[in-house]
Amino acid sequence: MKALVFNQFGGPEVLKMADVEAPVIGPDEVLIRMKAVGLNFADVYRRKGNYHLEGSPPFILGYEGAGIVEEAGSNITHIRKGDRVGFADVPYSNAELTAAPSDKVIPLPEDISFETAASVLLQGLTAHYLTSDSYAIQEGDVCVVHAAAGGVGQLLTQMIRILGGKAIALVSTPEKAAVAKRIGARDAFLYSDHWVQEILDATNGRGADVVYESVGSTIMDSFKAVRTGGTVVFYGMAGGDPVHIDPRMLMDTSKTLTGGDLWNVLTSRDERLKRSNKLFQWITSGSLALEDPSIFPLNKGADAHRLLESRKSTGKIVLIP
């Protein structure tokens, strides 16, 4: 089969198409003919050598995607050949065929396209647990979303609205502020301005109920922007490592710092189905809008990586084998 591979760590230029052996499935796995693969920053980090990779070259990236079941293992009765399925965390999906554990396979409704599934599963399930588990949004909550024009940020902003909260978006440019306002943010402030004071002014000095912190280096400002007794949800550090937090500050202000990781909630097939079905319901009802993805054929994977690293894309990037 054909796959997008790399033999050494480096820039996008290390990615090449090659013929590799097709995976052989076990009794509890399914073989999926890939129709769309989501590109994520984790793929960039693995290509560069920042994240651990098992095995030896040639390495195959890709952890999120969708396709058609080609074969089901002998122990599997709930998945059949021809089923449309997706997944959020199955490795080696930058290829024509992927072997997936059956408990990680998510059935796709007929009105959810392969491209949509590959665009939304990882980021959508992340936004879902952030708004339902890390901090459960309540009617009227004021919620600050860092990097609100990014993939998870756009979904967070919309889910806050769906759940009855009010989103305040933090973005880097006026163009991204317009994106955030268009998808439902009540306010959108620029990082280059005095955004902490703007949030306090917008909340009559009270502060937000929750700040979704994905930048890392801004975490202390996030605490300044949240009310006494409020919560900062830390789930990323795209802008650099956060400082160490003094627990005495949390005690003095009655504020909460919590972390979030998707793999601590996707612990069973039932959890995957329950959470993805809610995601699909929001999409098919029109409550949750997705920007059209940027589509690249798999053999142009290096170009897709370049676009992602340029940070000029606002929607998802999807590879088509």
- For residue range 278-310, what is the model confidence (pLDDT) as tens digits? 999 999 999 999 988 999 999 999 999 999 888
Q: What is the pLDDT of residue 192?
A: 95
For the chain, the domains span 2-121+264-320, 139-259
The CATH superfamily holding the domain 2-121+264-320 is: Medium-chain alcohol dehydrogenases, catalytic domain (3.90.180.10)
Q: What is the pLDDT of residue 46?
A: 94
Mean pLDDT for all residues in the chain: 95
Going by C-alpha positions, the residue among 138, 131, 143 that lies closest to residue 208 is: 143
Quick one: average pLDDT of 169-175? 95
DSSP string, 256-314: EEEE--GGGT--SHHHHHHHHHHHHHHHHHTSS--PPPEEEEGGGHHHHHHHHHHT---
CATH fold label, 139-259? Rossmann fold (3.40.50)
Residue 117: pLDDT above 90? yes
Quick one: average pLDDT of 17-22? 97
For the entire predicted model, the pTM comes to: 0.93
Residue 239: pLDDT above 90? no
Q: What is the pLDDT of residue 214?
A: 93
Cα separation of the two ends of the chain: 11
Quick one: average pLDDT of 185-208? 97
Residue 311: pLDDT above 80? no
**pLDDT above 70 as % of the chain:** 100
Q: What is the pLDDT of residue 55?
A: 82
Rounded to whole angstroms, the Cα distance separating 103 from 271 reads 10
Residue 317: pLDDT above 80? yes
In contact, 272 and 11? CB cutoff 8 Å: no
Residue 50: pLDDT above 90? no
Going by C-alpha positions, the residue among 128, 99, 91, 93 that lies closest to residue 114 is: 93
